[in-house]
Structure 1
């Protein structure tokens, strides 16, 4: 017999997915210990679990998955090819519909670009930033820079200068980080430029000590000078997403974080998702009670449960130990911010825990 932890590792489904498929009756365990609630799976269920993982990877609805597994386990393999072919035809229809919808969106974008009135705006800013404050701001957002070659504009950090404020922003779509540094010397209109990550890293390397740094944005060029050293380069030349709109969220419930304990709990997670339990603090849901290893707490703990990518959350927690989590709802981004300040925060998209 396999514990749920062993079954999750061997099948590729994961513990939370196996719990879900048990709850909905798709893949119940062969035995549940009446005293501990531990789930145990028979050896022959491994092939069934692996088949289930492939079907869900292909996006097959649960109703059809049930039929495939029932036919497969019952030896009626004649039904399975018809179900697979029907799902494939449905995917092809959905793809054709998606192509049509995206073509319509592209046409609307093209019409909007051709009808917009071009306005001239100032693209030059010259400002002074405290080196330590600037370095801290860059360190707070660097982890969220994207690496998708299809979206090169997300492979950099946005420098957004307006009045006496400099905001730096990074996002890879699944998370976004924003930080602010105070400046002097500009005080004018808004100027934006997205600098590629290697250029930002070179700038960050100059920001040592407590010295002023002179930052200049001129057209598509950006330059940093401090302590007689200088780094300059060009922006990515694409418009960065409107981060102000993306960070406009309803007010949520703020929960103080025990960051060292949360880091420790996340360090033991080796998958792409894990569950957080939100009560008067935030803890990682203990899967040990389900894996048959040792008693702990699991789905019986009161409080909201939300799925996250543990590696992404660890990145967001690296900026300090005095942090809060703001919880808006199960489908809304989680907001992580430092206690007592709104100058640096990050958003993290939740993951589904069902499958």
Structure 2
């Protein structure tokens, strides 16, 4: 007779979330043998201590982990189990990306798709750098998929790349080696573009073609990459730029010195005080003099405060040795530009004084 503290397979199934048939399968595979089997009836009984293992087993199978890997995770220590899980997720992501690319090729073949509308032909390294710079202003937020995308606008003269996470907005314009066949605009999945950047960087030229539901990155001597379109409407960034208002203070400062001062800053909030011939990096609520940086400042003296997670990436992606900060007041967006190249522009939203308190 079984121990009265053991539970029959049906009760154990309810507590573990596994079906009875799954428990029999895992018992026969050696992953989760019962604590006791009645020699007469063949009924299987489980111990309460096995519930935790059974639940983890179920969760591992829910993320499509193969049995051999499941066994390794269950029998490993915490650090090794975490490493095995990370390896499994990387493989899933790689398989998914490969499947998306193959599916795009198959769909094109099935529909007899002819080459898409030419958006632009660009130098691969230039396009890769621009995509990486602008994508720093993206975010993954539930219900707002468009914030994870890169908006592309093509004309016969330039191609503009724009992204925003609501706290920053970055836009960069590029002059194509070959212009668009007609004006075009759309928002492309940022993760697809990130996955393609390494190949784009190694291609001398990249031909960007628009097709239904996506774009193709055509690269000579390399595998073409497909990036999906996002259906949501991109925020009206042109209206945002148009409504910024007059610049009251303009400060030009060394990008490297400013980034170094931010790296040494101990708080999550930071205040910039622009006056005379300097920009001072301060604690928002401290009378300490902070770190003074030489700068060219024109206009009114002004202090403005930021979240470090907003300001630092906005500055780090700037092009060239210097950055130009166009300030409009302590509560207005700041325009951050490269002092000698204006083709990458970033808006950074400040925080109010109460928030920084």
TM-score (norm 2): 0.58
* Deviation at residue 244 of structure 1 after TM alignment: 1.3
Output the CA distance in 2 between the equivalents of 1:150 and 1:270.
34
Does the aligned pair in 1 maintain the 2:172–2:345 contact within 8 Å?
Answer: yes
The aligned counterpart of 2:217 is: 224
* Deviation at residue 262 of structure 1 after TM alignment: 1.6
- Determine which of 251, 261, 264 is the counterpart of 1:265: 261
Output the CA distance in 2 between the equivalents of 1:216 and 1:343.
23
The aligned counterpart of 1:197 is: 190
Pair 1:347-2:344 in alignment: no
Does the aligned pair in 1 maintain the 2:271–2:284 contact within 8 Å?
Answer: no
* Deviation at residue 338 of structure 1 after TM alignment: 0.6
* Deviation at residue 147 of structure 1 after TM alignment: 1.7
Change (3 A) 1:168 1:297: closer
Greater relative CO (CA pairs within 8 A, separation 6+): 1
- Determine which of 200, 216, 235 is the counterpart of 1:241: 235
Does the aligned pair in 1 maintain the 2:117–2:181 contact within 8 Å?
Answer: no
Output the CA distance in 2 between the equivalents of 1:342 and 1:199.
27
What is the DSSP-based 3-state SS (H/G/I as helix, E as strand, rest coil) of the residue aligned with 1:195? strand
Output the CA distance in 1 between the equivalents of 2:265 and 2:232.
37
Q: 342-351 or 240-249: which moved more?
A: 240-249
The aligned counterpart of 2:308 is: 310
Does the aligned pair in 2 maintain the 1:193–1:217 contact within 8 Å?
Answer: no
Output the CA distance in 1 between the equivalents of 2:284 and 2:231.
46
Alignment of 1:302-341 (within 5 A): 303-319=301-317, 320=319, 321-341=321-341
Structure 1, unaligned runs of 5 or more: 1-122
Output the CA distance in 2 between the equivalents of 1:311 and 1:126.
33
Larger Rg: 2
Change (3 A) 1:335 1:220: same
Does the aligned pair in 1 maintain the 2:187–2:229 contact within 8 Å?
Answer: yes
The aligned counterpart of 1:113 is: none
Does the aligned pair in 2 maintain the 1:193–1:220 contact within 8 Å?
Answer: no
Alignment of 1:293-308 (within 5 A): 296=289, 303-308=301-306
Structure 2, unaligned runs of 5 or more: 1-115, 292-299
Does the aligned pair in 2 maintain the 1:309–1:351 contact within 8 Å?
Answer: yes
Aligned-residue RMSD, C-alpha = 2.5
Alignment of 1:1-355 (within 5 A): 124-209=117-202, 211-229=204-222, 230-248=224-242, 249-252=244-247, 253-279=249-275, 280-286=277-283, 290=287, 296=289, 303-319=301-317, 320=319, 321-354=321-354, 355=357
The aligned counterpart of 1:8 is: none
For 1:283-316, what per-residue CA distance to the aligned partner results, in whole angstroms no more than 9, with x for missing partners? 21157965xxxx6459xxx931111111221111
TM-score (norm 1): 0.58
* Deviation at residue 210 of structure 1 after TM alignment: 6.9
